[in-house]
């Protein structure tokens, strides 16, 4: 016990001697100041982090991949950070992109309760065609944060791991139509894959890829191992597309895998039907109770042949309308056909103007024109009227002569 007491007294005397020294007091004050500054200024340290769910991704030569990045702000104030590509392989095109534009600075909102502020962007990487297989680093920065990606260039996947098929590889129709191809995407690989969906079409054409029976357009889609995904590929031709065959290539890409499917649209021309008269005037004359013919012209204004063109009409009650011919079996593009329309107004129709609609209808097109028909009463009734007037005048003349002699 005496030994322990002596050791304690010795240690106490040394500590008291050190505390009294000027060097110890200056060092203690400096350490205390550093701790107080750090405690009073927590945001002086880096508060925004840059992360990604998949920092290592396989790519192929000539491929462009878009990798999602996450920004997180763990401070109580919003932060603006500088973004940069610090390191990239020579000849590679690496860009930071957000909402379709290349960016070099981002604002990340403050924490809300326990949730950090967040921001999202992508890094688009284009691999040169001649890139050799191997691992390539890409280093990104956001403020003082640093994120390193590892991109593995592969030689390509095994054939048959992904398949694109369709029951209807070729569809035909006019340029104004929308071609809908049902497509099946099959994942034959041993793992779940996210496939990037791309389409190559002629200039001015539009292509939409959607899950079957859904309206949302997708650029990528996940498929379980051994499963299939039903897709709908809608092809909208350019309005100026001429008659002919046009290929559309659909591709499904995943790390180390690719499938391509050619769809063919056959433009058979446009369908347009016209209905007018030889003079261009849409009027006619008719007599009540009598057949009154006039002529119309049916014209094929499109670039495709029209078949089975029929004619019909809408007229006032108790009128009859007939056509000669009443059917056009074949009407080539740019050609016309003359049709005689015979009107027979009701025999008691009052003189005046009436409207009669005539329609030319083909399976692919329709045209309607409305004619103003001026109806007259029969001439015989005019002579009857003249006779009655003559009899009345003769009667009055005889009366005046008889009574005038008295």
Q: Is the Cβ–Cβ distance between 275 and 358 less than 8 Å?
A: yes
Same-domain pairing of 111 and 176: no
Domain edge (last residue) among 132, 153, 174: 153
- Per-residue pLDDT reduced to its tens digit, 120-175: 898 989 888 788 889 999 999 999 999 999 999 876 545 457 999 998 999 988 87
pLDDT at residue 50 tops 70? yes
List, in sequence order, every beta strand (DSSP E) within 237-365.
244-254, 257-267, 273-276, 283-287, 292-300, 306-314, 320-324, 327-331, 336-344, 352-361
> 359: domain range?
273-380
Most confident stretch, 54-63, 86-95, 99-108, 385-394: 86-95
In a domain, 357, yes or no: yes
The domain tally of the chain equals 3
Evaluated on CA atoms 188, 190, 192, 194, the torsion sign reads: negative
In a domain, 144, yes or no: yes
- Per-residue pLDDT reduced to its tens digit, 173-191: 887 789 999 999 999 887 8
- CA angle at residue 188 from 186 to 191, to 5 degrees? 110
Alpha carbons within 13 angstroms on the beta-carbon side of residue 344 total: 9
Same-domain pairing of 194 and 234: yes
The helix (H) or strand (E) run that includes residue 382 is helix 379-404
Q: 41 or 338, which is more confident?
A: 338
List, in sequence order, every beta strand (DSSP E) within 190-256.
193-200, 206-211, 220-223, 228-236, 244-254
The CA-based dihedral angle spanning residues 174, 180, 181, 185, taken in that order and rounded to the nearest 10 degrees: 150
Q: Which two tokens stand for residue 243?
A: 């008659």
Q: 382 or 50, which is more confident?
A: 50
The strand pair at 220-223 and 244-254 is best described as: unpaired
Q: What is residue 345's predicted lDDT score, i.e. its pLDDT?
A: 94
pLDDT at residue 269 tops 90? no
Same-domain pairing of 132 and 169: no
Spatial distance between the Cα atoms of 377 and 38, rounded to a whole number of angstroms:
108
Q: What is residue 367's predicted lDDT score, i.e. its pLDDT?
A: 95
pLDDT at residue 43 tops 50? no
Same-domain pairing of 99 and 175: no
Same-domain pairing of 298 and 255: no
In a domain, 25, yes or no: no
In a domain, 61, yes or no: yes
Q: Identify the CATH number of the domain in which residue 85 sits.
A: 2.60.40.10
Same-domain pairing of 72 and 137: yes
pTM for the whole structure = 0.41
pLDDT at residue 356 tops 90? yes
In a domain, 398, yes or no: no
Question: Bridge-partner residues for 285, per DSSP?
Answer: 374
Same-domain pairing of 236 and 147: no
* Average pLDDT of the chain to the nearest whole number: 84
């Amino acid at each position: 016990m005496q030994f322990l007491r002596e050791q304690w007294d010795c240690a106490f005397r040394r500590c008291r001697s050190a505390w009294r020294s000027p060097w110890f007091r200056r060092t203690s004050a400096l350490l205390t100041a550093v701790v107080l500054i750090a405690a009073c200024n927590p945001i002086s340290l880096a508060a925004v982090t840059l992360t990604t769910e998949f920092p290592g991704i396989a790519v192929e030569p000539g491929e462009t991949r878009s990798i999602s990045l996450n920004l997180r702000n763990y401070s109580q104030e919003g932060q603006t950070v500088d973004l940069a590509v610090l390191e990239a392989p020579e000849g590679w095109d690496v860009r930071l992109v957000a909402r379709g534009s290349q960016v070099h600075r981002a604002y990340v909102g403050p924490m809300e309760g326990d949730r950090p502020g967040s921001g999202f962007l992508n890094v688009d990487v284009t691999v040169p065609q001649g890139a050799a297989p191997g691992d390539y680093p890409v280093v990104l920065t956001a403020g003082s944060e640093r994120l390193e990606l590892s991109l593995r260039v592969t030689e390509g996947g095994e054939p048959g791991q992904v398949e694109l098929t369709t029951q209807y590889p070729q569809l035909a129709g006019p340029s104004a139509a929308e071609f809908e191809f049902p497509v099946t995407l099959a994942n034959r690989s041993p793992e779940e894959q996210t496939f990037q969906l791309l389409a190559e079409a002629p200039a001015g054409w539009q292509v939409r890829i959607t899950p079957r029976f859904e309206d949302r357009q997708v650029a990528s889609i996940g498929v379980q191992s051994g499963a299939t995904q039903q897709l709908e590929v809608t092809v909208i031709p350019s309005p100026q597309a001429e008659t002919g065959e046009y290929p559309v290539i659909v591709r499904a890409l995943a790390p180390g895998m690719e499938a391509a499917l050619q769809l063919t649209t056959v433009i058979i021309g446009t369908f347009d039907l016209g209905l007018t008269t030889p003079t261009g005037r849409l009027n006619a004359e008719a007599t009540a109770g009598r057949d009154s013919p006039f002529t119309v012209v049916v014209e094929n204004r499109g670039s495709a042949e029209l078949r089975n063109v029929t004619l019909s009409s809408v007229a006032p009650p108790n009128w009859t309308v007939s056509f000669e011919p009443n059917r056009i079996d074949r009407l080539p593009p740019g050609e016309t056909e003359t049709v005689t329309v015979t009107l027979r107004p009701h025999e008691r129709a009052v003189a005046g103007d009436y409207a009669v609609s005539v329609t030319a209808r083909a399976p692919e097109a329709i045209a309607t024109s409305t004619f103003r028909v001026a109806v007259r009463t029969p001439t015989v009734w005019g002579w009857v009227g003249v006779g009655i007037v003559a009899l009345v005048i003769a009667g009055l003349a005889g009366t005046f002569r008889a009574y005038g002699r008295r």
